[in-house]
Every structure is written in structure tokens, then in C-alpha cells.
Amino acid sequence: MSTYTPMIQQYLKIKAQHKDCFLFFRLGDFYEMFFEDALAASRELEITLTSRDGGADERIPMCGVPYHSAENYIKNLVEKGYKVAICEQVEDPKTAKGVVKRDVVQLITPGTVMEGTMLEEKENNFLASVSEFSGNTYVITYNDLSTGETSVARVSSGWDAVLSELFNQPVKEIVVSPDLPENYQTDLRERLQVTVSYQQEYSIKEGFHDLTEQLTEDKQLLEGFGRMLNYLQNTQKRSLDHLQPARIIQLQEYMSLDMFSKRNLELTQTILRKGKQGSLLWVLDKTVTAMGARMLKKWLERPLLNKQVINQRFAVVQAFLEQFFERESIREALKTVYDLERLAGRVSYGNVNARDLIQVKQSLQNIPAIKQLLSQFENESVRSLAEGIDELRGLAELLEESIKEDAPLTIKEGGIIKDGFDPTLDEYRDASKNGKKWITELEQREKQATNIKSLKIGYNRVFGYYIEVTRANLHLLPEGKYERKQTLTNAERFITPELKEKESLILEAEEKSVDLEYQLFVELREKVKQYIPALQALAEKVSTLDVLQSFAAVSEENNYVRPTFNGSRKISIKQGRHPVVEQVMKGESFVPNDVYMDESSEILLITGPNMSGKSTYMRQLALTAIMAQIGCFVPCEEASLPVFDQIFTRIGAADDLVSGQSTFMVEMLEAKHAITQASENSLILMDEIGRGTSTYDGMALAQAIIEYVHDHVKAKTLFSTHYHELTSLENTLDAVQNIHVRAEEYQGNVVFLHQIQPGAADESYGIHVAKLAELPDQLISRASDILKQFETEQNHSGTPEKTKPARQVEKEPEQQMSFFVPEEERPSNVQTRSKREQTLAKELVDLDIMELTPLEAMNILYQLQKKAKK
């Protein structure tokens, strides 16, 4: 290092402490990057890579960005999952001896973004931490630094449950101990695609214990929260006064939605486009505030199990529907409320400006009107919302008295504080104003005295005030009165003792005025800090109100009805509709269907052709249940539902390329997750189980899964299949009922009626669907011939032959070896295998088939087959 210049040595020392960050090293008006950072940043940001002399033999790679426009570059890096360390000059260059002292003043990471331009307005930006404990227990802590909200949850059902919980939240970065197993860290990076950061220390420092009041003396929760808190302190290096006390999330109080279900049901984003449009959130979001939009998403990710709380939400939605005009007035008033949560965070963080405080003031000035409108409702639940709202009149009045309406964005150049707020500031302003007036009068006097009409008095920061006279008029100036200050091409600039004296007074007043304004603004910001908890409480009330009016608006617009809950585990939905498909089909008629399930129909076995609507029917039941349990009305004519504790889905086929798992393995893992975790109060949706393997394997597995769910799990289950042989289960399993999606053949084409009817489908119409997809006519014709030959052979033999019609190749019949044929009757070429056969036979006899799960049976059958083939 000694070969480098002192400045480069300083850079390298600071970089060594932040190896996992891009180091934005402040040099004058630029943030510079060197060495590997420069190479990577020039590539990621598409900026020019250059080099400089750093004292070594070779030139050092270098790139940089202007500090005043660095925000967009930082945003670009953070969105790609990188971290940025901001290194500033921390001493005045004028007083520095040698290299100016520099230090990192802030780390900006994907989970700790605070700048508004880097945040999604309607999305939380969660930083999470995961702490591992014995007994397969984990503590997850969530924090949104931009709003200050913090929550803690304990997961006691293993690592997969941790992944599902994290997947359900908008997490951008996860903090873990360096000791967390490497395969778990890989899961976080690759399966959840988040930035992983490290924090070992978890002891909670003095001054933050008030944030742990709800955690009591629970050591695990305290350690989990402490790891998060230490990471925030180490990266932010500034006030965290806006952090709210940590709330405990009791996961058992909410419906459990694993990562498969959230993805398959497209609750907050679609599978293909990864966007909001086309998701359930897209349909339900009629909120008008950013706070409300974020709360709606949180509700959707955690449906309730508490009927009382759900019914309270229903009551408010019902009241909003009954009093349309008052609801619309509330909706209009909410449009004038800014994002109080994030504004409070900016106040604490120290990056709030005058315009942010104007937004706080304008929001508070509209709260009394909202409160008044709520009090006009007849419903007690709505009026109780008004009673809990604090108008914060003191803060509103303080901001009204202090901040100018047209205040600039910057806070260090004046023009922020109103006249009359501070007497000293008024004096400075008066001196400055009168001084400038005096200068204007002086200009007129000098023009008259010299008879120079073009004479003018100007100002610049280098020379201050000056009198400017063109060269052609210099002979008109009196001798001895003017002192030459600057010579220009076509003019001369002068000063007079009188002007110099006044300049000193004016500039001193202006300088003091700007300094005082900044000081007053900082003091004002500290006063506003005292209101942060009250602002956050108000924001929560306003957010709740916004979500409930959104439910009312969407329910009225889409003709949703209020559901009821029953304790008999019965599902009764009349003319139910899919909330998203219905909206996508605007202008076309959506075919509604009933759903009825009781103790005699725990499992609905759904058959019917592809594209007929089986998956839509299954999904609409799940989405209806979720909508009901977040407190929203539902798309049907009438609905009575149980409260579901969990929803599991196996819908759609997709390889998990990251984990190297095939479609069939993903299918089996999701099926295993459902049948091992579900209770009798759960809802299971399984679509085409077994299609990822051979026909007979798939059919066997599908039947075994249905039997297992029927006999052991007893959850409400919708199971769609193309294996028509499974429809016979209705005759052997008491709680299985066949239903099918109706389709008709008309003039050689299939017509999907999308109607659910009792009984099994009699045809699959696969070739007709292929025809709709416009496969070549020759191919369709050949498929029809093959199908007829299969059906003919099946009619003759009872089972389909495994042959290629019209292209058969004669083969010698294979001998089928039986385990139980006497040795003397066996072919000579297999008599030597008697011991192996006896071993296999004994393994088969010893199996307790009724105690095996479907997956265990599959594995054992596979092993036996391998042994037999040897």
C-alpha cells in the first residue's frame, strides 16, 4: 500500500471495511470509484471507465458520478441487489492538514432504502432477519425503515415454513448470522432472490428498550429483534427515533398461505408477468392513499381466523355501501392525505424538507373533515373509527405558522420560514430588503449625477456589489469618487465607500438570515419528531379506513355480497364467480357456478376437457375464501363458508430450475406439503396430479392421494383429473363426489359451456382442443384414427393395448416371472434366481401397506422393481 498516494491509501483502508459494497468516495463534486469497484460500476451503470495515477507503476481504473445526481445511480445499483457505502468528507478542506478526513456516513442497501424515488409508493420495503434456534425453531423479524414498523414472528415448523413465510412478504434483504448453514443461505439467495447480509451482534443497546415492551422476556424474540436493530444502527449511522415498538405476529391467528399457494393463486402478482395487473390485489385495490394500498396488501397476505374481527370489517363495509354519499365524501377527503407513515420516517431520519412538512400540514388540516363525516354514519362500528382519530391540531397549527407555502426543496438557501414566526429573522430580512431598496435608489441618484443613462448597479459572488459603466461613458465620471474594481472588454466596474458600507450590511443580513432559517428549520424538525408516534397511529387509522372504503367501492362496482360463516365445515356458494377472470372478461359474460360441500362431499372429483374451466372453478373457491377472511364481500349471490386455517394448492406445472427439480418432483413436493400439513379445517386444491409421470404411475399415485386425504386428512378438497378411472372412487369412498364441467360437441367442434354439473365427464375432447389450437389438419386426422383404434382394441380386450396402431412390430412375448411359481415349473434360465425371489417375496409380505403414505409406497415399489430387474 505504501506505493500508493495518501488519498488512494485512505480509499483502500475505508474500502477494506466495506468489502461487500460499492464505495462512493467523495472527491469535490463527484463520487469516485476505483479498482474493482470502478470496473463493476462502469459495467452495471454503463458509465465511462477511465484511469488515474495513484502512485503505483500502473494507472488505477476509475469511474465517477456527479454527487448532485448520484441518487439515480445509487437506485440503479440497489435495485440490482447491490449495497452502496456513501463516503463523505467529514472535515473542512480549508482546515485540513494533508488529506481531507473522510468516513462512511451511510450504507444504502436493498432493505434500508429511505429516499422516496427509490421506493415503490404502494409497496412496503421490508428488511428481514432470520435467527436460528434449537428445536427447528426460527425467529423472523421484519422492518420497513421508511415507515418504522417492526414485527417479530416465531416459526417452529422447520426451514421450509421459514421460506414460505418470507416469500409471502415484500422482502428485499435478509440479515442472518454468519453461522447460518450455507445451504440455507443459498436458499435465501437463489429461491427467494434477495440480498443476504450478516450481523452477529444481537444485544440491545441503551435507549432502545422501549421498542421491546411487547417482547417481554422472551430470549428468542429479543435476540431476533436485536440482530435486526444492530444491523440498522451499523448501516444507517443516524437517528432511528421513528422505529415503532416491535409487534409479535402470532402466525396461528392468520390463515396460512404457503409460497406455492400464494404463487398459484396469483394473490399479489401474476405468475407469468410478475406484475400486479391480473392479480387479486389488482381487483381489490380501490384505495386512494399509499398507506392504504400497503395495508391492503398486508391484509391480503395474512387473512384472519378471528370471526369477530372479520365481522367488524363486514359491518363497516356494509355501512359504507348503505351510505353512498358520505362514503364518496370520505373517499374525496382521503385523496388529500399524503403518506404520513413515510413522512414521519423522513422527519426522524433527518432528510425531510419544507415541502414534506407542508404535506404533513395539509394532511392534518383534512383530518377534522374526515372525522366529521364518519360521525354522520348510523353504524356504531364506523362511528368508533372516528373516536380513535387524533387530529393533532397542535402540530397542524405549528406548521401553519412556520412554513411558507412556496418553500423551496432545499433547506440551506432560505425562503422557508414565514414572516412573523421569528423576530430576529424578521430584522435580518428587513435590513436586507431595505438595503436592496437603498441600492435601487442609489442607482437612480448616480444616473442623475453623472448623466449616464446606461449606468447600473449589479452583484456577483466574487466582487459583491459594483457600479458598471461602459467605456464610452467613462469620461463623464467625476474624479476621485469612484474606485476601479474590475475591467471588462466594453465596460469598467467601480465601487464607492458608500456602496461598500451598505454591501457589508446587506450581505451580513442575508447570510445571517439564511443561517438562522436553517437553524429554525432544524429546531422545527425536532419539535415535529415529538409527534412521530401520534402521526404513526393516525396513519394506521387512516389506512384502515381507506382499505374498508376500498372494499365497499369494489363490492358495489362488482356486485359482491356479504358472506356468512358456519361452524359445520359446510361450503355453500350460489352462482360463484372468479373475481379476476370476471374483470379480465369485461364485456363478456362470465358463467357462474355453485359450490356445495358437506360431510358427504369432503372431496369433489372434477373431470372435464382441457380449457373447460376446471382450474378456474377451483381457484375461485380459494379466492372467495381469502376475500371473506380479509373482510371483503365476495363474488356470488350467496355464500356460507367455514373459516379455513390453511389453503394448499397444486395447480399448474413448472420446473423448479433453481433447485434442479423436475415438474413431477415439484408436483410431488407440493402434494406432500399439502397432505402432511393440512388439517380438517384446511382447503386443498389439486389439479391434474400425476400427469408428470407415466399413465399408470400417475393414476396409482392420484388414487392413493385421494384415499389418503379421505381417510386421514379429511380436509375439504377439490381434485381435478383426466384419469376417468378415478371416478369409480365415488362408489367406494363415502365423502367423494364426482362433478364435471359440461361441454358439447357441435358440428365436429367442441363447445365449452363452463357449467359444473354432478357426475363424471364421459369424454375428454382432447383432439377437439388440439383442433382449437390449430394443429395441422393431417396431424388431427391421424390422431383421430389412432384414437378409434385404441377404443376398438379396448372394447375387445377391456384394456388398451400398448401398441402403435398400423405400425406394429411383431415381438416375441416376454415371459412374466411370478414370485410364487414352484421352482421345478420355472424356465431353466430363471431357476438360479430362487433366493432373490424369496427375498423379494418376503419383503412384500412384511410390508404394512395400510401404514404407508403414497410417497413411501412409491419409493418402496421403485426399489423392489430395481431388485426384480436384476
pLDDT one-digit tens code per residue, 434-489 = 888 888 888 999 899 889 999 999 988 777 899 999 998 998 888 878 888 888 98
Q: What is the pLDDT of residue 505?
A: 81
Residue in the structure block whose three cell numbers are 457600479: 467
pLDDT > 70? residue 824: no
Q: Which of 6-20, 340-354, 417-431, 769-783 has the lowest mean pLDDT?
A: 769-783
Q: What is the pLDDT of residue 800?
A: 45
Q: Where are the alpha helices (DSSP H) in 564-721?
A: 579-584, 614-629, 663-677, 695-708
Most confident of 228-242, 290-304, 446-460, 843-857: 290-304
- 612 annotated as belonging to a binding site for a ligand: yes
Q: Give me Rg for the CA atoms of the chain.
A: 37
- 613 annotated as belonging to a binding site for a ligand: yes
Q: What is the pLDDT of residue 1?
A: 55
The reply to whether domains 285-392+531-558 and 423-506 share a CATH topology is yes
pLDDT > 90? residue 433: no
pLDDT > 70? residue 696: yes
Q: What is the mean pLDDT of residues 238-248?
A: 91
- 579 annotated as belonging to a binding site for a ligand: no
Q: Which of 175-179, 473-477, 500-504, 654-658 has the lowest mean pLDDT?
A: 654-658
Q: Which sequence spans correspond to the domains of the chain?
A: 6-108, 125-253, 285-392+531-558, 423-506, 568-774, 823-869
pLDDT tens column, 141-196 = 999 999 999 999 999 988 989 998 999 888 999 999 999 999 999 999 998 999 99
pLDDT > 50? residue 829: no
Q: What is the mean pLDDT of residues 626-649?
A: 97
pLDDT > 90? residue 139: yes
Residue in the structure block whose three cell numbers are 454591501: 503
pLDDT > 80? residue 671: yes
Question: What residue type is 504 in one-letter code?
Answer: S
Q: What is the mean pLDDT of residues 373-392?
A: 91
Q: What is the pLDDT of residue 369?
A: 95
Which set of grid coordinates corresponds to residue 170? 415484500
pLDDT > 50? residue 432: yes
Which set of grid coordinates corresponds to residue 592? 357462474
Q: What is the pLDDT of residue 248?
A: 95
Q: Which of 372-376, 496-500, 855-859 has the lowest mean pLDDT?
A: 855-859
Distance CA 866, CA 702 (A): 22
User: Is 423-506 in CATH node 2.40.70.10?
Assistant: no
Three-state SS string across 365-421, please? HHHHHHHHHHHCCCCHHHHHHHHCCCCCHHHHHHHHHHECCCCCCCCCCCCCECCCC
Question: What residue type is 491 in one-letter code?
Answer: A
CA distances from 861 to 460, 576, 697, 817, 855 (A): 91, 42, 10, 17, 10
Q: Which of 248-262, 630-644, 647-661, 752-766 has the lowest mean pLDDT?
A: 647-661
Q: What is the mean pLDDT of residues 519-548?
A: 95
- 609 annotated as belonging to a binding site for a ligand: yes
User: Is 125-253 in CATH node 3.40.190.10?
Assistant: no
Q: What is the pLDDT of residue 586?
A: 79
Q: What is the pLDDT of residue 333?
A: 95
Three-state SS string across 58-122, please? CCEEEEEEEHHHHHHHHHHHHHCCCEEEEEEECCCCCCCCCCCCEEEEEEECCCCCCCHHHCCCC
pLDDT bin (cut points 50, 70, 90) of residue 537 is very high
Give the residue, 727 or 431, on which the prediction is more confident.
Answer: 727
User: pTM, whole model, 2 decimals?
Assistant: 0.81
Q: What is the pLDDT of residue 673?
A: 84
% residues pLDDT > 90 (the chain): 58
Average predicted confidence (pLDDT) for the chain: 87
For residue 142, give every residue at least 6 positions away whose Cβ sits within 8 Å of its Cβ, in sequence order, or none.
126, 127, 128, 149, 150, 151, 152, 153, 169, 171
- 292 annotated as belonging to a binding site for a ligand: no
Q: What is the mean pLDDT of residues 715-719?
A: 96
Q: Which of 344-348, 523-527, 746-750, 823-827 has the lowest mean pLDDT?
A: 823-827
Question: What residue type is 8 in one-letter code?
Answer: I
Q: What is the pLDDT of residue 699?
A: 85
Distance CA 543, CA 149 (A): 14
pLDDT > 90? residue 630: yes
- 570 annotated as belonging to a binding site for a ligand: no
Q: What is the pLDDT of residue 850?
A: 65
pLDDT tens column, 277-319 = 999 999 999 999 999 999 999 999 999 999 999 999 999 999 9
- Among candidates 710, 662, 659, which has minimal Cα distance to 686? 710
Contact 608, 741 (CB under 8 A): yes
CATH class of this structure's domain 6-108: alpha beta
568-774 CATH fold? Rossmann fold (3.40.50)
Q: What is the mean pLDDT of residues 615-627?
A: 95
Which set of grid coordinates corresponds to residue 857? 409406497
- 611 annotated as belonging to a binding site for a ligand: yes
**Which CATH number does the domain 285-392+531-558 belong to among 2.130.10.10, 1.10.1420.10, 2.60.40.10, 1.10.357.10?**
1.10.1420.10
pLDDT bin (cut points 50, 70, 90) of residue 818 is very low
pLDDT > 70? residue 833: no
